[in-house]
Amino acid sequence: MTLEWTGNSVIFIDQRKLPLEEVYVECVNHTETYIAIKDMIVRGAPAIGASAAFGYVLGAMEFHGDFNSEKGIAHMKSVKEKLASSRPTAVNLFWALERMHKTFLGYISSGNILDILEREALAIAYEDIEVNKAIGKYGAELLRDGDTVLTHCNAGALATVDYGTALGVIRAAIEMGKKISVYADETRPYLQGARLTAWELMKDGVDVTLISDNMAGWVMSQGKIDAVVVGADRIAANGDVANKIGTYSVAVLAQRHGIPFYVAAPLSTIDLFTPTGKEIPIEERDHKEITHVQEVQVAPNNVKCYNPAFDVTPWNLITGIITEKGVVRPPYNMTLKKLFD
């Protein structure tokens, strides 16, 4: 699993160190959890949501007093806001914190509020695993025996509590007995595909080939790709999808070559309150991620940089969105809404 709850701390595998080192980081309060999310020790929309839920529990454990007092309520509101400020794009973060805070307010007068909050955070984590497996089952039905899938960034077990969304589709297809191979984009500038996806698939014995981002079009033109499957950090009401920078380019290339482009994501990633992708906040990260590879400088000193962490793929480039309730297709402004009926 990507994270482990001990009862008074949450332990993460430090994804910044992979694949060369397997290092674990233990967070004992909500501020440390905030840092773990902000600094991408833990990453991936579903994993961020679950991590924030446990961070909320740790924040509650830090308070000694009456939760039903103005001071207690203010403390938990501060915990929620602190964790919510860690990263702006992945809607699962806000979904999980809203769920935790609603639970807190609903049971604030009970004598065992800490136990209730812990159970809720664990429920979020375990639900994520079951949701991912359902996504995998529906998505696997879209893949044929012998297919080769291109994926971008990392939407595997490392990006969730376990199993994965996009990689969960691949895992489920293999579990069904289908022979599936994978091309993984390196995913510059943070190299989640090279460092994480390739590592994760190799650990599982999946046939994976790593390519640089600018090879995707050529690989498609050679007939080497049968489908594209990616994850998502936020899906707008009209079906526009925010995902790791470079996803939009892959979608354009897939349409040009007649290759189906699928997005695998839980319902918690769908934001019906955001009408289109234009309203999704896009995080811009440290320019050093572009000018350096790890600690090695590869660009001139003081060069101007632009480093958005995500882009938005328009709905009309997306063949289908795979959820735990099934696969939906355009018009997404109607089919996504029906998932919540």
Distances (CA, A) of 51 to 121, 127, 160: 9, 13, 10
Question: Out of 128, 185, 213, 233, which one is annotated catalytic?
Answer: 233
Q: Which of 188, 191, 185, 149 lies closest to 169 in space, CA to CA? A: 149
Q: Which parts of 284-331 are beta strand (E)?
A: 292-293, 296-297, 310-313, 320-323, 326-328
Measured between alpha carbons, how far is 227 from 260 in angstroms, rounded to an integer?
A: 5
Structure tokens at 25: 């980081």
How distant, in Å, are the alpha carbons of 126, 182, 188, 324 from that of 170?
Answer: 20, 8, 22, 15
What angle separates helix 45-61 from helix 91-106, to the nearest 10 degrees?
Answer: 30
For residues 52 and 33, the answer to whether their CB atoms sit within 8 Å is yes
Catalytic residue at 233?
yes
Paired tokens of 274: 């955001």
In DSSP terms, 185 is beta-bridged to: 211
CB 91 within 8 Å of CB 283: no
Contact between 119 and 57 (Cβ < 8 Å): no
Residue positions annotated with a catalytic role? 233
